[in-house]
């Protein structure tokens, strides 16, 4: 059976749902395949702190109201380093006022619902990509097996790979991959009855080379999560839960664990494998983790998948059909992806090799504790609303320098505590 579509999307998760829905709403005929069998097949390992940079796309999809109705937490965070707390009291653009914390078992079915509501989308679940069809040097189709093992083929003007971490599609196409060194492991668990001193605001602690996160979640849950350097794994291995809970004891404004009960098994990844690929390869468009899998510590994967798929639909949707126009539109998508995400990817991977904060990072932390404007700009950068060159502008650098001179003169006195 061969079918012709305008677009084929492999993957029906964050990137695939966003790309397919936004392209289908432009009147394009879209085929979506995913090897998962249904809503119960959600992504198992993800701490799902969705950064605020994704809010415009979440709104555009019509997902915001559904997330709110499902109890997703509108997230924001405060950060602790040895210099004190960094919080953002600056003005909030409603467009990017917050991100979302929501478990994947809640998010992933909502994404499938969005796809199912689009009349222009044909969705096949239990359908695994097995091959790519090449036509004149460009990939213009796929082969896939359904749940019964029957093989199908489909062709389209554009094939989108949104098939996640380790993308089977990228492997089939031989897309070059730049691997990134990551020298931390991650473990986390959800808990009931673990209130945060900050209420619904997430907390982050940088402790030497390690990091701890406490996130409020849907259903009144709190997640404890630690990213710890590989050399400590032996000490964690015998009792990972005790090690996780112990990590947070004694931290400033630590979560109250006295009445807390585990609400999940211990989750995580012993070895993190980060990488980056080109966003366009021989006519294929790559979105989300298929294109780039950054250190999960940065909490950017879902946000970047939403955003990249949105850019793809914006750039390529209107041009689909005309071969030359599609190639040019794909190039615009590639450039946009690079312009907005390459700098973030650089800074994230630079910090993922298990090193302690470098001089610039320490100077930024000191300044952000002391200077509310630096804190505000840092939060926008970490929320991925602004790019590195917007954050490290001459104006911000001058403020960072001034605050560090004042810090040196005060001999390292902490500036303010978390209210
Ligand atoms: C430990 C950990 C913590 C994380 N925490 C965060 C966080 O706090 N915040 C955040 O934003 N991100 C986080 N991430 C990253 C986030 O999970 C991903 O970036 C995000 O899921 C990417 O979405 P995606 O749509 O690209 O891929 P996925 O969500 O992985 O979806 C890929 C889809 O492709 C399908 N698929 C795969 N192969 C095939 C095939 N051969 N045929 C058909 N279908 C196929 C899969 O079934 C799946 O549905 C974390 C990741 C890890 C590992």
Q: DSSP string spanning 358-403? A: -HHHHHHHHHHHH-HHHHHHHHHHHTTSS-HHHHT-HHHHHHHHHH
In a 3-state reduction of DSSP, which class is residue 325?
helix
Domain that holds residue 335: 2-48+103-179+273-347
Q: Does residue 78 lie in a domain region?
A: no
Task: Take atom 52 of ligand 1 and give the residue whose Cα is closest.
Answer: 46
pLDDT for 375-415, tens place per residue? 999 999 999 999 999 999 999 999 999 999 998 887 655 55
Task: Take atom 15 of ligand 1 and give the residue whose Cα is closest.
Answer: 301
Task: Take atom 30 of ligand 1 and give the residue whose Cα is closest.
Answer: 164
Same domain, residue pair 146 and 212:
no
Say yes or no: CB of residue 157 within 6 Å of ligand 1: no
Say yes or no: CB of residue 18 within 6 Å of ligand 1: no
Cα distance between residue 84 and residue 106, in whole Å? 34
Say yes or no: CB of residue 164 within 6 Å of ligand 1: yes
- Predicted confidence at residue 410, as pLDDT, reads 78
Q: How far is the CA of 160 from the centre of ligand 1 (A)?
A: 15
Query: Pocket of ligand 1, candidates 301, 306, 341, 352: which has the most ligand atoms within 8 Å of its Cβ, to mutate?
Result: 301
Same domain, residue pair 240 and 303:
no
Q: How far is the CA of 165 from the centre of ligand 1 (A)?
A: 6
Query: Pocket of ligand 1, candidates 296, 304, 352: which has the most ligand atoms within 8 Å of its Cβ, to mutate?
Result: 296
Query: Pocket of ligand 1, candidates 100, 144, 289: which has the most ligand atoms within 8 Å of its Cβ, to mutate?
Result: 289
Q: Does residue 223 lie in a domain region?
A: yes
Same domain, residue pair 161 and 285:
yes
Say yes or no: CB of residue 295 within 6 Å of ligand 1: no
Q: How far is the CA of 43 from the centre of ligand 1 (A)?
A: 7
Rounded to an integer, the average pLDDT of 327-341 is: 97
Q: How far is the CA of 231 from the centre of ligand 1 (A)?
A: 27
Same domain, residue pair 188 and 239:
yes
Pair of tokens at residue 145: 């097996």
Compute the mean pLDDT over every residue in the chain, rounded to the nearest whole number.
95
Task: Take atom 42 of ligand 1 and give the residue whose Cα is closest.
Answer: 128
pLDDT for 148-199, tens place per residue? 999 999 999 999 999 999 999 999 999 999 999 999 999 999 999 999 999 9
Q: How far is the CA of 71 from the centre of ligand 1 (A)?
A: 21
Same domain, residue pair 12 and 118:
yes
- Asked whether 328 and 315 are in contact (CB, 8 A), the reply is no
Q: Does residue 294 lie in a domain region?
A: yes
The domain tally of the chain equals 2
Closest CA to 68 of 41, 98, 44: 98
Taking 50 as the threshold, does the pLDDT of residue 355 lie above it? yes
Alpha helices in 28-73 (DSSP H): 55-61, 64-69
**pTM (2 d.p.):** 0.96
Task: Take atom 27 of ligand 1 and give the residue whose Cα is closest.
Answer: 164
- Predicted confidence at residue 2, as pLDDT, reads 53
Say yes or no: CB of residue 35 within 6 Å of ligand 1: yes
pLDDT for 232-259, tens place per residue? 999 999 999 999 999 999 899 999 999 9
CA 97 to chain centre: 17
* CATH of residue 223: 3.30.9.100
Same domain, residue pair 227 and 327:
no
Say yes or no: CB of residue 254 within 6 Å of ligand 1: no
Residue finishing a domain among 244, 269, 294 = 269
β-pairing verdict for 99-101 and 49-50:
antiparallel
Pair of tokens at residue 96: 């990017």
How would residue 417 be classed by pLDDT, with cut points 50, 70 and 90?
very low
Same domain, residue pair 39 and 114:
yes
């Amino acid at each position: 059976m061969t079918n012709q579509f305008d677009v084929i999307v492999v993957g029906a998760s964050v990137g695939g749902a966003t790309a397919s829905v936004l392209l289908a709403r432009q009147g394009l005929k879209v085929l979506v395949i995913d090897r998962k069998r249904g809503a119960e097949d959600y992504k198992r390992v993800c701490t799902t702190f969705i950064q605020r940079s994704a809010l415009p796309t979440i709104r555009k999809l019509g997902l915001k109201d559904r997330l709110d109705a499902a109890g997703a937490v509108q997230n924001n965070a405060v950060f602790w380093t040895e210099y004190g707390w960094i919080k953002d009291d600056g003005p909030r653009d409603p467009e990017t006022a917050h991100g979302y914390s929501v478990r994947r078992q809640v998010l992933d079915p909502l994404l499938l619902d969005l796809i199912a509501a689009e009349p222009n989308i044909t969705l096949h679940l239990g359908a695994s990509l097995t091959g790519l069809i090449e036509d004149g040097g460009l990939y213009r189709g796929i082969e896939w097996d359904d749940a019964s093992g029957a093989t199908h083929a489909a062709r389209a003007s554009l094939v989108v790979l949104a098939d996640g971490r380790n993308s089977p599609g990228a492997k089939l196409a031989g897309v070059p991959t730049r691997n990134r060194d990551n020298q931390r492991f991650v473990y986390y668990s959800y808990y009931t009855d673990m209130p945060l001193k900050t209420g619904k605001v997430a907390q982050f602690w940088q402790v030497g080379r390690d990091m701890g996160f406490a996130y409020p979640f849907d259903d009144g849950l709190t997640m404890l999560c630690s990213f710890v350097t590989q050399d400590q794994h032996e000490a964690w291995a015998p009792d990972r839960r005790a090690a996780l809970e112990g990590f947070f004891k004694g931290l400033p404004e630590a979560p109250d664990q006295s009445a807390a009960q585990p609400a999940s098994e211990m989750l995580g990844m012993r070895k993190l494998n980060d990488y980056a690929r080109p966003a366009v390869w021989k006519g294929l468009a790559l979105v989300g983790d298929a294109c780039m899998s950054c250190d999960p510590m940065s909490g950017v994967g879902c946000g970047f998948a939403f955003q990249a798929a949105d850019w793809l639909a914006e750039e390529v949707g209107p041009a689909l059909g005309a071969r030359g126009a599609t190639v040019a539109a794909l190039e615009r998508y590639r450039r946009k992806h690079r312009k907005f995400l390459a700098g973030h990817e650089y800074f994230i991977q630079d910090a993922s090799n298990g090193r302690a904060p470098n001089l610039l990072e320490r100077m930024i932390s000191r300044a952000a504790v002391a200077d509310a404007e630096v804190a505000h700009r840092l939060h926008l950068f970490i929320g991925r609303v602004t790019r590195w060159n917007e954050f490290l502008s001459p104006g911000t650098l001058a403020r960072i320098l001034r605050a560090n001179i004042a810090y040196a003169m005060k001999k390292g006195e902490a500036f303010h505590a978390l209210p």
